[in-house]
Amino acid sequence: MSVLDGILAGVREDLAQRQSAVPLAELKARVSDAPPALDPLPGFRAPGVSIIAEVKRKSPSKGELATIADPAALAAEYAAGGAAAISVLTEQRRFGGSLDDLAAVRAEVSVPVLRKDFIVTPYQLWEARAWGADLALLMVVSLPGGLLEELHGLALELGLTPLVETHTEEEIARAADLGAEVVGINARDLTTLEVDRAVFQKLAPHLPEAAVKIAESGVTGPEDVAEYHAWGADVVLVGEALVRSGDPRSSIGEFISQAGRP
């Protein structure tokens, strides 16, 4: 069993408990009363590099990263620093997140919010929208057959912007076949948790030309963001480097300014 297989097994167990507690009809009612989702594309397509700043307490590869008692306050710092969007980890077992974190962040900031989780069922997309997400992560590696297409279509119907995450040329081809507008390349291989930022450099030329191109994982400082941008990234998703920085607002400014230098 790969690392990803183990994570997905836990995700499905936790999902079954939530489905028992909150019927789909209740989620749909909540979504029907929700304000429209925010569109992240104008921010992502702005000149220079855009930053998705992540609320992330821990990870399977690094363990505990930061004690985040108030995710909304952290998100506010991110937004004040110039983040184009906020990513909220909602997976509990390996990342220490929750849907309550998502709701708290949504209530605090005016920028788009991404639900980052291992989404494998339609129910999770209804959850994302019901708790205030504007974007939802769809990882090609965990969505075989027609499931990727089904979830991508439902996300759009719900007003969510799907961030379609890839790690190989074959996965990029599947994203392109969908007509995905936002495509990420994760430098981390989720089956082993190994990180190689050069994966983005290698695969970026294969991304759909019109798509927003997002680099994920492996950022330790401004120089990494600048390099991703030089390799073609419109947006860089940053988690660990920000939650450990001590001054996330200033760090985001540094990321953006250094990447914009000639």
Mean pLDDT of 192-204: 94
pTM, whole model, 2 decimals? 0.94
Is 170 in the active site?
no
Catalytic (active site) residue 116:
yes
> Angle at the Cα of 55 (from 96 to 224), degrees rounded to 5?
120
Considering only CA atoms, which of 236, 239, 257 is closest in space to residue 248? 239
Please give the helix or strand (H or E) that residue 186 lies within, else none. Answer: strand 182-186
Arithmetic mean of pLDDT, 31-58: 94
132: alpha, beta or left, given left = phi > 0 and alpha = psi -120 to 50? left
Of 165, 171, 181, 227, the active-site residue reads 165
The chain-wide mean pLDDT, for the chain, equals 93
Predicted confidence (pLDDT) at residue 261 exceeds the cutoff of 50: no
Q: Residue 201 — very low, low, confident or very high, per pLDDT cuts 50/70/90?
A: very high
User: Would you call 87 a catalytic residue per the annotation?
Assistant: no
| Of 54, 77, 181, 240, catalytic | 54
Q: Where are the chain's structural domains?
A: 3-258
CA distance 259 to 255: 6
Active site residue 58: no
CATH T-level fold of 3-258:
TIM Barrel (3.20.20)
The yes-or-no answer on residue 149 being catalytic is no
Determine the average pLDDT of the residues in 24-28. Answer: 97
Active-site residue identified among 50, 56, 58, 240: 56
Q: Is 217 left (phi over 0), alpha (psi -120 to 50) or beta?
A: left
Q: How confident is the model at residue 3 (pLDDT cuts 50, 70, 90)?
A: confident
Among candidate residues 217, 227, 240, 251, the one labeled active-site is 217
pLDDT, position 45: 96
Per the residue annotation, which of 59, 142, 186, 251 is the catalytic one?
Answer: 186
- Summarize the confidence of residues 221-239 as an average pLDDT: 95
Q: Region of 173 please: left (phi>0), alpha (psi -120 to 50) or beta.
A: alpha
Say which residue, 257 or 67, is predicted with more confidence: 257
186 as an active site residue: the answer is yes
> With 80 as the cut, is the pLDDT of residue 262 above it?
no
